Chain A
Amino acid sequence: MTLAVARRAEATALFAAQGVPTRRVEDWKYSDLKSALGEAGIGAQVAQWHVTDLPAGVEQFDLSQANPPGWVIDNFARGTGNVMSAASLALSVGGVALRVPKGAAIADLLKLDFTGPGHVRALLVLEAGASLTLVEGVGLSEFRNVGFEIALGEGAALDHVRVSPADADAVLVEEAHVRLAAGAQYRAHFASFGSRLSRMELEIALEGAKAQAHLSGVSVLDGKRHSDVTTRMIHAVEDTLSTQLFKHVAGGNAKAVYQGKVTVAKGANGSDSNQSAKALLLGEAAEADLKPELEIFADDVKCAHGAAVGDLDADSLFYLRARGIPEAEARGLLLHAFLEDAVAQIANMDQRELVRTELLTALKVIA
């Protein structure tokens, strides 16, 4: 696996040059990883992964083993531009690679969990025409860094649902790098309940015509919890489509962060991109930081973004109370309504219901 060795060496050099990000690094302005980690630093442990009931038709390979198959070599460690992704590649020898062969439509959910402290890598390849629903579980740990790569072949379709649980002490970082060939579809939902520092970073490259990505997410944060979703959507070729819808509710001293950058490359005409990020602040000391960014090098495009921060609409609250609904309940209803359109993006009904239930539980505490 000489190519992988070379890529690992590159990643090691990159991480050595940049180090653990601090607030002074523009991309990490709102998430100070270095101070969240404190003395302990990022360590060099290898975190664990676990697949529950591997669905029939999905191939699995343990990255800590020798002699990887060709599809792993072809797709492993392709993107190392991101500093934390480079760290996971440099420091982890473990991880998992999964493949759905050409044309296979997998009906069962693929449940992949990451647990324990340290760094871990994952690779998921959907070959042309394949389809799958991935449910990613996030186990609590003082610090974990996951470097995830996803490659979607022509016309492949992946539904990805990730739920990051609440924990005041955990520092959870993940970078997903998703590549889409022509006609491929990536639909992802990220629900986050916040931890000491929680960062989900996505780089999505729409590399084939008619490729499309639809991202949505909700976060409900309380106490001193933090949640950061950072996305980078690259429309590399023409006629690509992307949508993003993120909703945050922050109470207490919590901090909700959304940074989204949409790039339309030169010549990527017919690109269509929509980005929306909204936050409701419920706590006197809560904070929301939104940065929806556009970078456009082609003229025949449709790009729009919107962002808003505020509190619950007083008129709506009054309307509900005038109809005899107690204030707490009315607030709960409005908060649920605020989050619901992002939750409704989850295609799998069972997963949608699961996320919704967790949201409602979290809202009860915060509202």
Chain B
Amino acid sequence: MSSVAQQETKKQVADIGEKYKYGFVTDIEMDMAPRGLSEDTVRFISAKKGEPEWMLEWRLGAFRRWLTMKEPKWARVHYPDIDYQNAYYYAAPKNTPLKQSLDEVDPKLLETYKKLGIPLHEQMALAGVAVDAVFDSVSVATTFKGKLNEAGVIFCPISEAIRDYPELVQKYLGSVVPVTDNFFATLNAAVFSDGTFVYVPKGVRCPMELSTYFRINASETGQFERTIIIADEGSYVSYLEGCTAPKRDENQLHAAVVELVALDNAEIKYSTVQNWYPGDENGLGGIFNFVTKRGDCRGVKSKISWTQVETGAALTWKYPSCILRGEGSVGEFYSIAIANNYQQADTGTKMIHLGANTKSRIISKGISAGKAQNTYRGLVSVYGKAKNARNYTQCDSLLIGGECGAHTVPYIESRNPTARIEHEATTSKIAEDQLFYCLARGIPQDEAVSLIVNGFCREVLQQLPMEFAVEAQKLVGISLEGSVG
């Protein structure tokens, strides 16, 4: 936990902390909670968010539970012990001073933006440059809000939802990922400060792709995000999380929770592109990403589809899952996980078939390069009542260089004779002849690798919404730059 970014944050926080001399419990004007985690920290965050009593109680319950839990160690990720008392759990984002022009931004970052083909005004927004009339985020957001209001879709920060739609939040919060679920989810329940709430009413097809990028006040990714998406009967929503641009987040520990609920005949498509700071070439620094994502196909013929492109973070611990409860419900998981240098990724999915005629499909593409370790860990479980359940799983690993590792740990459990489960996995390397072919035709090495790897992950890239897909393709190439030769 000794990245430069981390050091800077500590310094920044310490500086501000010194200005504050009044005891933080009573004064909620302060922008950050002191170091450490206690009931007071939880109360502070709740007070800061102006939350009702029930919400505070829920958080405190989670915190007390968390104190009794042990950090899970079964994943194939190695990291120094995290000192939970030595971290900051709440800091309002407004402290970050806006830069006056792109000249103040790290040129390395700008170069990457350029390679990704991100438009200039978006670059400014991403890098935290004060935006001018060229890109009026407020007006974009206003037109956009108007459209959603018309459709009756609720799309707001979770703190707003707690205030404005308490009955909806109370009904669904923790109903998919219970407070007691796992160490990191419980920690999130106690201290989450940011996140998104989406409710799509009956029969509504959400008029646009929802993206955190366009949500006001959401330009800073929270350290402990909590997202809830509810698709009521017969509705449809597609949600994009993250972006392809590198995120220089200064918090090293991230623990997000995402809960999806799909009622009868509803469909949720959830796409993630994660490109957080992976640490440097020597494995120093980088984000530790512990995420709990779960979708509950509660209604008949409901569908939840996860698509993820994971290229960043020093350490990824993430298993977006589907509980296929409703009869005829469908779960999908499409994943690309790229680990380079000293990155470690342990990611996969769980498909829990509870209802009859449920179907699931898993396509996972893992790419390891440098000294990275990449693990697919998945569970397909068919319960006794899941008549005619179907699953198809394909997980392929690609190794670049002899110093990295690619691992596959699938669990397949069937308790119904009419269920059919198929699983296939392969491991291969970038074929010399493919590389040679490209080189012989004048394609530079990095481009050739990018081309071959993009071919390898094509099935997953196709699942991404258009605007994401183009950038994600480039991102795949950039993540692997310099890994061959």
Check A283 against B417 for contact (C-beta < 8 Å).
yes
**Interface residues of A, Cβ cutoff 8 Å to B:** 26, 266-267, 269, 279, 281-311
The chain A residue sitting closest to B432, CB to CB, is A300
Check B412 against A305 for contact (C-beta < 8 Å).
no
Please, which residues of chain B bring their CB within 8 A of the CB of A298? 399, 402
- B142 nearest CB across to chain A (Å): 52
Distance, CA A308 to CA B391, complexed state (A): 10
Please, which residues of chain A bring their CB within 8 A of the CB of B427? 294, 296, 301-304
Check B409 against A293 for contact (C-beta < 8 Å).
yes
- A220 nearest CB across to chain B (Å): 15
Check B402 against A300 for contact (C-beta < 8 Å).
yes
Given known A-B contacts A269-B402, A301-B427, A308 and B408 have beta carbons under 8 A apart: no
Check A299 against B410 for contact (C-beta < 8 Å).
no
Looking at B3-11, B98-106, B226-234, B418-426, the stretch in contact with chain A turns out to be B418-426
13 A–B contact pairs at CB < 8 A? Answer: A281-B416, A284-B417, A285-B384, A288-B412, A288-B413, A291-B410, A294-B425, A295-B405, A296-B407, A299-B399, A299-B402, A305-B408, A306-B425
CB contact list, B392-412 vs A, under 8 A: 397, 399-412
Distance, CA A59 to CA B406, complexed state (A): 44
Distance, CA A133 to CA B201, complexed state (A): 70
Check A294 against B417 for contact (C-beta < 8 Å).
no
- B41 nearest CB across to chain A (Å): 33
Distance, CA A306 to CA B414, complexed state (A): 16
Distance, CA A205 to CA B16, complexed state (A): 59
Task: Give the one of A284, A306, A310 with max B CB within 10 A.
Answer: A310
Distance, CA A297 to CA B414, complexed state (A): 30
Distance, CA A288 to CA B421, complexed state (A): 11
Tell me which of A288, A296, A306 contacts B406 (CB under 8 A). Answer: A296
Check A286 against B397 for contact (C-beta < 8 Å).
no
A-B contact count (CB 8 A): 111
CB contact list, B422-449 vs A, under 8 A: 422-429
Tell me which of B401, B408, B414 contacts A281 (CB under 8 A). Answer: B414
The chain A residue sitting closest to B418, CB to CB, is A311
- B376 nearest CB across to chain A (Å): 9
Check A294 against B408 for contact (C-beta < 8 Å).
yes
Tell me which of A294, A301, A303, A308 contacts B422 (CB under 8 A). Answer: A308
The chain B residue sitting closest to A264, CB to CB, is B427
Please tell me if B74 contacts chain A, counting CB pairs below 8 Å: yes
Please, which residues of chain B bring their CB within 8 A of the CB of A309? 382, 412, 414, 419-421
Check A279 against B414 for contact (C-beta < 8 Å).
yes
- A202 nearest CB across to chain B (Å): 19
Check B407 against A294 for contact (C-beta < 8 Å).
yes
Main secondary structure of the interface of B (DSSP, over half): strand
Given known A-B contacts A294-B406, A294-B407, A295-B407, A307 and B414 have beta carbons under 8 A apart: no
Please, which residues of chain B bring their CB within 8 A of the CB of A289? 411-414
Distance, CA A281 to CA B416, complexed state (A): 7
Please, which residues of chain B bring their CB within 8 A of the CB of A308? 420-423
Distance, CA A204 to CA B423, complexed state (A): 24
Distance, CA A354 to CA B354, complexed state (A): 41
Please tell me if B147 contacts chain A, counting CB pairs below 8 Å: no
Given known A-B contacts A281-B416, A296-B399, A302 and B428 have beta carbons under 8 A apart: yes
The chain B residue sitting closest to A308, CB to CB, is B422
The chain A residue sitting closest to B421, CB to CB, is A309
Given known A-B contacts A287-B413, A310-B419, A293 and B402 have beta carbons under 8 A apart: no
Please, which residues of chain B bring their CB within 8 A of the CB of A281? 414, 416-417, 419
Distance, CA A302 to CA B409, complexed state (A): 17
Please, which residues of chain B bring their CB within 8 A of the CB of A305? 408, 423-425
Please tell me if B415 contacts chain A, counting CB pairs below 8 Å: yes
Distance, CA A316 to CA B400, complexed state (A): 43
Distance, CA A288 to CA B427, complexed state (A): 25
The chain B residue sitting closest to A305, CB to CB, is B425
Check A310 against B421 for contact (C-beta < 8 Å).
yes
Distance, CA A279 to CA B425, complexed state (A): 17
Check A291 against B412 for contact (C-beta < 8 Å).
yes
Check A304 against B411 for contact (C-beta < 8 Å).
no
Distance, CA A183 to CA B16, complexed state (A): 69
Check A311 against B406 for contact (C-beta < 8 Å).
no
Name 20 extra pairs, CB < 8 A, besides A292-B408, A294-B407, A309-B382. Answer: A285-B415, A286-B415, A289-B413, A292-B423, A293-B409, A294-B406, A294-B408, A294-B425, A297-B405, A300-B402, A303-B426, A304-B427, A305-B424, A306-B422, A307-B410, A308-B422, A309-B414, A309-B421, A310-B419, A310-B422
Distance, CA A19 to CA B456, complexed state (A): 45
Please, which residues of chain A bring their CB within 8 A of the CB of B74? 26
